[in-house]
Amino acid sequence: MATEPQHHDFETPLEPFEGKNPIKCISSSPSDSATTTTPPPLIFTHGAGGTLQSDAILNFRTGFATQSPITCFQGSMNLSSRVKMFDAVITHESKTVPVTALGGRSMGARAAVMAAKGKADVKYLVLVSYPLHTGKGDVRDEILMEIDKSVKVLFVVGDRDSMCDLERLEGVRSKMTAESWRVVVEGADHGMSVKPKVGTKAVGELVGRVVVEWLNEIQESVLEDKRKEGRIWWDGDEQKEKWGGWEGVSSDKTSSQNDQTVKNDESSKPEKISNKASKRGTTKKEITSDGDLKTGTPQPRHKRTRNEYPEIEELRKPARKR
């Protein structure tokens, strides 16, 4: 059973760069960690335009910390600087426990991959909303191909993520040396927001708990090689977040095809799956939050502002003419 997490704010110096501002961190863990079976602690960071209090980070951290320790740190928007910050936080955390798991969302996920390079202790990468391609469609997969084959990789991506097309991700995964798994969050965009709004928090926390499950099963070698696909969704009828468990690739594709028949006018867009797909939940196991969720009417369609996802807007800026 999940327990309410406890949080601790601290700062660590950006070693060996004297005079630099310290890195702000939040360490979260189950309140009763002594009775909790914990996988490797995770060091995690936000996207280019995010903070430690961004919804996507806060929801993920809260869900993860109900079952296992996690340390999140505030980073800069510069990719190389973020990698150096990873190194500093790893140095700090490794004084008490070996650091074997790194992760991040969006640009933070890229930084995690780069920070893991050459570190023999790092065995797990958690990549949420990985920015696989630019707004123009150029695929950025070089660093993924360089991940050591000893590292296990988990991709968590929304099926409405404009920066990580599911088909392109599958093509990249098939060429990677490292073994990888994929969790698709139905109806989620790059910021892991779903509709209605009430589902975003619950789904985000569930993502964190599912990542803990993956780390546990990988560490204990109980996750079968063929079970590499999973889906999370918000059940509008039951007002609950749901996890379908790990499936094989073939059964995952079958489920996707069944989902498309629910809403015929979206049959040509397999990446956009109706919330009504939750009716298949009778054959699924589910994990729900401990607290009661308020039942509310669906929220109006959310119009994204230009600055809501600065990572995307930055990529869309045309080159300046000289």
Q: Could you tell me which of 159, 51, 58, 150 has the C-alpha nearest to residue 107?
A: 51
CB count within 10 Å of CB 291 equals 9
- Domain contains 149: yes
| pLDDT score recorded for residue 257 | 39
**Could you give the CA distance from residue 183 to residue 188 in angstroms, rounded to a whole number?**
12
- Domain contains 20: yes
Dihedral sign of CA atoms 204, 242, 215, 63 in order:
positive
Domain coverage including residue 297: 5-316
Tokens of 153: 């990789």
- β partners of residue 43: 71, 102
- β partners of residue 320: none
- Domain contains 95: yes
**Could you give the CA distance from residue 300 to residue 146 in angstroms, rounded to a whole number?**
43
- Domain contains 322: no
- Domain contains 72: yes
Q: Please report which helix (H) or strand (E) contains residue 254, including its range.
A: helix 249-260
pLDDT tens, per residue, the chain with 322 residues: 456 778 788 788 776 555 578 999 999 999 765 444 556 789 999 999 899 999 999 999 999 999 999 999 999 999 999 999 999 999 999 998 899 999 999 999 999 999 999 999 999 999 999 999 987 778 999 999 999 999 999 999 999 999 999 999 999 999 999 999 999 999 999 999 999 989 999 999 999 999 999 999 998 888 767 789 999 999 999 999 999 999 886 333 433 434 443 333 343 344 443 344 433 443 344 443 333 333 333 444 444 444 444 454 444 445 444 4
Burial 153-188 (b: 16+ CB within 10 A, else e): bbbbbbbbbebbbbeebeebbeebebebbbbbbbbb
What is the CATH classification number for the domain harbouring 203?
3.40.50.1820
**What 3-state DSSP class applies to 152?**
strand
- Domain contains 321: no
Residue with tokens 């869900």: 63
**Could you give the CA distance from residue 102 to residue 87 in angstroms, rounded to a whole number?**
11
Q: Please report which helix (H) or strand (E) contains residue 112, including its range.
A: helix 107-116
- Domain contains 109: yes
Task: Judge residue 19's burial from the number of C-beta atoms within 10 Å of its C-beta, 0-12 exposed, 13-18 middle, 19 or more buried.
Answer: exposed
Describe the strand order of the beta sheet including 42-45 as a list of residue ranges: 5-12, 23-30, 70-73, 42-45, 101-105, 124-128, 152-158, 179-185, 227-235, 240-248
Tokens of 29: 């863990």
| pLDDT score recorded for residue 271 | 42
**Could you give the CA distance from residue 294 to residue 239 in angstroms, rounded to a whole number?**
8
Domains: count for the chain = 1
- Domain contains 34: yes
5 contacts 65 by C-beta, under 8 angstroms: yes
